[in-house]
């Protein structure tokens, strides 16, 4: 069953249970999607106003498409984790079994690293859209953009922890490349979130009459 088919109460209960899924990556992905949904809502409200900038509708369309991309990642995280656990459970008594298990575990580790990197890329793209929305959304609803930015940013950084936990299982030649990509995504995510939240704070500051 897809995590999106659960009610909010069911998702909360399953997350708090002793079941390892949904774990940090899945919950982060859900949180990031909800963050972008807030940005979409702020843009949709703004687009209905007569004084909306012409760019708002185009930005809303981009954000809606990106939201569809983000919806893939919670279930992808669960699937990657389950494949990794299946690989670990392979027999390893005989030498040929050990070799086969090592190969499957390494492949599953690579997939479990690529899944959060893919999620982080989509979350970074969502932050870019939120940064634009912080400028274009109407002031009366820009606080929702800010809330969305915080959720997306936290989701991105949390997602990258799933890269960290799998790095040691990667072959040495793949480890450095994954770590470099991970650091670049983390850094750019922090930069974009900082700019977006600064813009939101500036627009929410009390207006002083001349």
- For the whole prediction, is pTM greater than 0.85? yes
Q: Tell me the residue range of the domain where 43 lies.
A: 22-203
C-alpha span between 32 and 54 (Å, rounded)? 27
C-alpha span between 193 and 146 (Å, rounded)? 9
C-alpha span between 164 and 160 (Å, rounded)? 7
Digit-coded pLDDT (tens) for 168-210: 888 888 888 999 999 999 999 999 999 999 999 999 998 765 6
CATH of the domain at 82: 1.20.120.680
**How many domains are contained in the chain?**
1
Kindly give, in sequence order, each residue whose CB lies less than 8 Å from that of residue 74, ignoring residues fewer than 6 positions away. 2, 3, 4, 22, 26, 27, 29, 30, 33
Tell whether 17 is covered by a domain. no
At 166, the pLDDT band (50, 70, 90 cuts) reads confident
Digit-coded pLDDT (tens) for 55-111: 999 999 999 999 999 999 999 999 999 999 999 999 998 988 999 998 898 889 899
HSE at residue 72, side-chain half, CA atoms within 13 A, is 12
Tell whether 210 is covered by a domain. no
């Amino acid at each position: 069953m897809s995590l999106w088919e659960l009610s909010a109460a069911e998702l909360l209960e399953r997350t708090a249970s002793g079941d390892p899924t949904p774990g940090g990556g899945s919950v982060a992905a859900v949180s990031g999607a909800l963050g972008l949904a807030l940005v979409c809502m702020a843009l949709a409200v703004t687009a209905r106003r007569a004084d909306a900038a012409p760019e708002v509708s185009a930005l809303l369309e981009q954000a809606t498409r990106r939201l569809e991309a983000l919806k893939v990642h919670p279930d992808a995280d669960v699937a990657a984790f389950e494949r990794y656990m299946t690989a670990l459970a392979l027999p390893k008594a005989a030498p040929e079994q050990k070799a086969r298990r090592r190969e499957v575990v390494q492949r599953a580790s690579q997939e479990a690293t690529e899944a959060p990197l893919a999620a982080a890329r989509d979350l970074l793209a969502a932050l870019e859209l939120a940064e634009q929305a912080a400028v274009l959304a109407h002031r009366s609803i820009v606080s929702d953009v800010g809330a969305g930015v915080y959720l997306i940013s936290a989701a991105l950084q949390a997602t990258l922890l799933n890269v960290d936990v799998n790095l040691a299982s990667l072959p040495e030649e793949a480890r450095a490349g994954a770590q470099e990509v991970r650091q670049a995504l983390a850094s750019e995510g922090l930069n974009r979130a900082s700019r977006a939240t600064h813009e939101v704070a500036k627009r929410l500051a009390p207006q002083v009459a001349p």
